Copies of this chain bind each other. A is one copy, B any other.
Amino acid sequence: MPKINKTKYAILGVLSMNPGSGYDIKKFCDKGISYFWNENFGHIYPVLKQMEVEELITKIAEQNEGKPMRYVYSITPKGWEELTEWLMQPPENTPARLELLLKLTFAKNIPENNVIEQMEKIKQKHIQRLEQYEEMEKEFNSNEKTRLDRGYPYWLATLRYAIHDARFRIQWCEETIQNIREHQKMLNN
């Protein structure tokens, strides 16, 4: 089977919540879900065009005074069908490619201290991420309205994933740094 255009489903999903322009879709990705999903204009615009041809979405031109042209897309019944069908299907797991782990595999060819430094930086990055996510969680849970929304447990799930993820990475960084140091000592004796 050929590789599937995931951008199409991301767009369908975003438009299922609200009609919007290509720009709006990009904004939603950047502001709302960038820690697990990313899109860029160079792909969004051509895919939108193609989806219109496939009748998954419809376009309406919007001209506000003094502002640039806006093309607002809405999802069609056919689009809804395609979206829900995709949602019901188990997610495809794309073959992993974790550059950090690949580097570690061959890391014995560079000085230990360089590796430790890199791991330390990565740990700091995840500590910052974790703080952000925990802040987001607080805000999210303090909002009464969101908790009554049918989507509540799903939004929460994505956030919790990010939190778990950041935590395990911090732990793993610490553990790994310690293991490198201990091994260093062992070999010196």
Does A175 sit at the interface, judged by CB under 8 A? Answer: yes
Contact between A83 and B103, CB atoms less than 8 A apart: no
Interface presence of A160 (CB below 8 A): yes
Q: Which residues of B contact A98 (CB under 8 A)?
A: 36-37, 161
Chain B nearest CB from A33 CB (Å) reads 6
Is A157 interfacial (CB-CB < 8 Å)? yes
Does A107 have its Cβ within 8 Å of any Cβ on chain B? yes
Q: How far is the CB of A134 from chain B (nearest CB, A)?
A: 15
Complex CA gap A16/B9 in Å reads 41
A100 lies within 8 A of chain B by Cβ:
yes
Give which listed residue, B83, B96, B102, B176, contacts A9 with CB less than 8 A: B102
Label chain A's interface by main secondary structure: helix
The segment from A18-26, A56-64, A66-74, A86-94 found at the interface with B is A86-94
Are B151 and A176 closer than 8 Å at their CB atoms? no
Whether A33 contacts B105 in the complex (CB less than 8 A), given A168-B168, A175-B160, A176-B160, comes out as yes
Q: A residues bordering B, Cβ < 8 Å? A: 6, 9-10, 13, 16-17, 33-38, 80, 83-84, 86-88, 90-110, 114-115, 118, 121-122, 148-158, 160-161, 164-165, 167-169, 171-172, 175-176, 179-180, 182-183, 187
Q: Which residues of chain B come closer than 8 Å to A172, judged between CB atoms?
A: 157, 160-161, 164
Asked whether, in the complex, the Cβ of B92 is within 8 Å of the Cβ of A158, the reply is: no
- C-alpha gap A158/B107 in the complex (Å): 11
